[in-house]
Chain A
């Protein structure tokens, strides 16, 4: 079977660690890893990889810079699937990925045990598969629960 092109993206820190913990779901495919912190991909032997500028809701200029970098990555790589564990750069990647025809996956961080994260709520409209890692959170907000990295 022909390998699928997967863009796997997470911000540095816990989001990235969770993405690494689930990479066996797609590691045998044609994967491009994207994160916000130089050095992280090497630490986890995740390649090929790209670094994009980090951003959050309070930094509009950083969001634009991230968006521009992400458009470049999307147009060059043309993913068939985009998967993210967060945070805001992942939402932007899901939106842009969807615009270039990719199927999209949001796995909300396991740190959100009480409600879906702010990023997760934003990601809902762009995600074909919208997961919470907590059963009670999933049932409250209408997400799917399908296990967790824990």
Chain B
């Protein structure tokens, strides 16, 4: 199963439209948490098992069952993928397209692109290649060097 999530704050039709177009070519179900304003709006993506929002326990269940996560480049999504050891394909939201209040998702995607198991679709057209590709690198639950550095600095301050 592929789990698509756009977070809980803002809709992201560009990603959902692309996944809806791609789903018929896939051999596995695509479940999506869409953040659509009304459940009825999810009819726009008939190839997806779409819901606007999920209670936390259901969200965690879908996230942990999925083979692959396809998502916006949200901080919460990236941290969840590390928590559950999931491969990620990210499509960052763009400020210029009215998808977020700034371009922090672009900066975030650049920062995490180098990590194991994280793949960035800079454009919608990059998505099929990444998702249909058979050699998606498996994610690691290992923390990054930047993460270890932050923890070490906090610990040093706290214990001093």
Partner-B contacts on A (CB < 8 A): 1, 4, 6, 13-14, 17-18, 20-22, 24-26, 29, 39, 43, 81, 83, 103, 105, 107, 109-114, 128-129, 131, 133-134, 146-150
Asked if residues A4 and B159 are in contact (CB atoms below 8 Å), the reply is yes
Q: Smallest CB-CB separation from B154: which chain A residue?
A: A25
Do B154 and A14 touch across chains, with their CB atoms under 8 A apart?
A: no
Q: How far is the CA of A112 from the CA of B111 in the complex (A)?
A: 13
B2 within 8 A of A: no
Tell me the dominant secondary structure on chain B's binding face.
helix
- A62–B129 CA distance with the chains assembled, in angstroms: 48
B148 within 8 A of partner (CB): yes
Judged by a CB distance under 8 angstroms, whether B144 is at the interface is: yes
Instruction: State A114–B108 Cα separation when bound (angstroms).
Output: 11
Contact of B79 among A21, A113, A114, A131 (CB under 8 A): A21
B8 on the interface (CB 8 Å rule)? yes
What are 14 A-B interface contacts by the 8 Å CB criterion?
Answer: A1-B159, A4-B159, A17-B79, A21-B147, A22-B151, A24-B151, A25-B158, A26-B154, A26-B158, A105-B158, A112-B104, A129-B157, A147-B148, A150-B147
The one of B74, B75, B149, B159 in contact with A147, judged by C-beta atoms closer than 8 angstroms, is B149
With A17-B79, A17-B80 already in contact, the answer to whether A150 and B155 are too (CB < 8 A) is: no
In the bound complex, residues from chain B placing their C-beta under 8 Å from that of A17 are: 75-76, 79-80
